[in-house]
Structure 1
Amino acid sequence: MTMHWPLSKRTLSYNISYRCLDERDMPFLRRLYRSTRAAELARVPWSEAEKQAFSDMQFNAQHAHYRTHYLDALWLIIERSGQPVGRLYLERWPSEHRIIDIALLPETRGIGIGSAVLEDLMEEAANNGKAVGIHVEKMNPAMSLYRRLGFKTVEDKGVYDLLKWHPAS
């Protein structure tokens, strides 16, 4: 099911659309999760089967945690030209839009899609007088994107920073 979402010229220029995820997306989501952990897994001396088993275990734990703790979230697949390229998990709170998770396939990173998606989220939040928040690992390469877009650290959570963006007054 395709979602009606406040798409802008930014996301439309990349042929981006969103749809609710379903069980058929689980293999894609596992592959996407694994791609976000590729650098870490490259450093361990495990077999490919061990790396995949570990990645699957971590994905299952994360997925269960998200589904348990964010009951009102939107669970979206980001598509480009009708093909899945990422995920966006978002919960709209009274004063903030919390990005639970956002990830793109490696071949779609660094070309502007993430910026376009985030800028659309920021625009929607601003139109509703809300902030946008997200937890980001300190070593995540996307940290520079968040900083460039105006996100600031509001809390050090150890491995993660809680970042927030507030609309201009």
Structure 2
Amino acid sequence: MNNFPPTDRVSRFGVSYRDMTDADMPFLSRLYRSTREEEMSGLPWSDEQKQSFIDMQFRAQHEHYQKHYTDALWLIIEMNSAPIGRLYIERWASELRIIDIALIPDARGKGIGADILEDLQSEAAATAKNIGIHVEKANPAMSLYHRLGFKQTEDKGVYDLLVWRPAETGHCRR
């Protein structure tokens, strides 16, 4: 059964979703590294040391997600059939919880992430659900979340819990 998020907006980029498989792990590891490059650049480690650290962190994150979000959708975001990102989401009774969303560097800043989030907002509004996501305070996408109406509801140290509520934004299904 296809339980993927809607693609009403993001389809203009040729974006679709498919289920993650074991064969996607090398791509997902590279994607994870791309989200950590800036912080890794200042470390006095060799490329081999950095990759070893990234591999360890990626495995730990992946195992954590799999253990704590047992009913999640583990999706690969594709553009014209090539992988460009990941979207991990779990649908709860009153909330769509975005566990993780990330795009490769070449896909960032083009409106793809905004369209994915707006498609999720349409789904949430149609089902009277909020959307929640933990976002690192220094994440460059933080301004995007705020622009789309996400509000900080909890300070979790390095992360903020952001929540979007359709009732607060007047968002209605388009």
Contact 2:5 2:123 (8 Å CA) reproduced: no
Other-structure match for 1:155: 154
Give 1:122 shift: 0.7
Q: What amino acid is the match of 2:128?
A: G
Question: Number of residue pairs matched?
Answer: 168
- Aligned equivalents of 1:26, 1:3: Cα separation in 2: 22
Aligned equivalents of 2:91, 2:3: Cα separation in 1: 16
In 2, the alpha carbon distance for the partners of 1:137 and 1:50 equals 24
State how far apart, in whole Å, the 2-side matches of 1:48 and 1:121 are.
Answer: 37
Partner of 1:89, secondary structure, is strand
Structure 1 residues not aligned, in runs of 5+ = none
List per-residue Cα deviations over 1:87-140 (Å, max 9, x = no partner).
000000000000000000001000000000000011101100000000000000
What secondary structure does 1:162 align onto? Answer: strand
In 2, Cα distance between equivalents of 1:3 and 1:56: 30
Task: Name the residue aligned to 1:63.
Answer: 62
Aligned equivalents of 2:94, 2:4: Cα separation in 1: 22
Any conservation in 1 of the 2:154–2:162 contact (CA below 8 Å)?
Answer: yes
Output the TM-score relative to the length of structure 2. Answer: 0.94
Q: Go from structure 1 to structure 2 and tell me whether the alpha carbon gap of 1:98 and 1:35 turns closer, same or farther (over 3 Å shift).
A: same
In structure 1, C-alpha distance between the alignment counterparts of 2:59 and 2:143, rounded to whole Å: 28
The amino acid that maps onto 2:6 is: P
CA contact (8 A) 2:89 2:98 kept: yes
Cα separation, partners in 2 of 1:42 and 1:2, compared to 1, 3 Å: farther
2:146 corresponds to 1:142: no
Q: Which one-letter code corresponds to 1:13 in the other structure?
A: R
Change (3 A) 1:82 1:2: farther
* Percent of aligned positions that are identical: 62
SS in 2 for 1:163: strand
8 Å contact from structure 1 (residues 18, 78) kept in 2? yes
- Contact between 1:152 and 1:163, CA under 8 Å: does it hold in 2? yes
The match for 1:28 is: 27
In structure 1, distance between residues paired with 2:18 and 2:3: 5
Inter-CA distance 5–99: structure 2 relative to 1 (3 Å threshold): closer
Please state if 1:117 is matched with 2:116: yes
User: d(CA) in 2 for partners of 1:3 and 1:47?
Assistant: 42
TM-score when normalising by structure 1? 0.96
Is 1:39 matched with 2:38? yes
1:88 match: secondary structure: strand
Partners of 2:85 and 2:16 in 1: CA distance: 11
**Is the contact between residue 5 and residue 120 of structure 2 (CA under 8 Å) also seen in structure 1?**
no
Q: What does the per-residue CA deviation read over 1:56-80, in whole Å, with 9 as the maximum and x for residues that have no partner?
A: 0000000000000000000000000
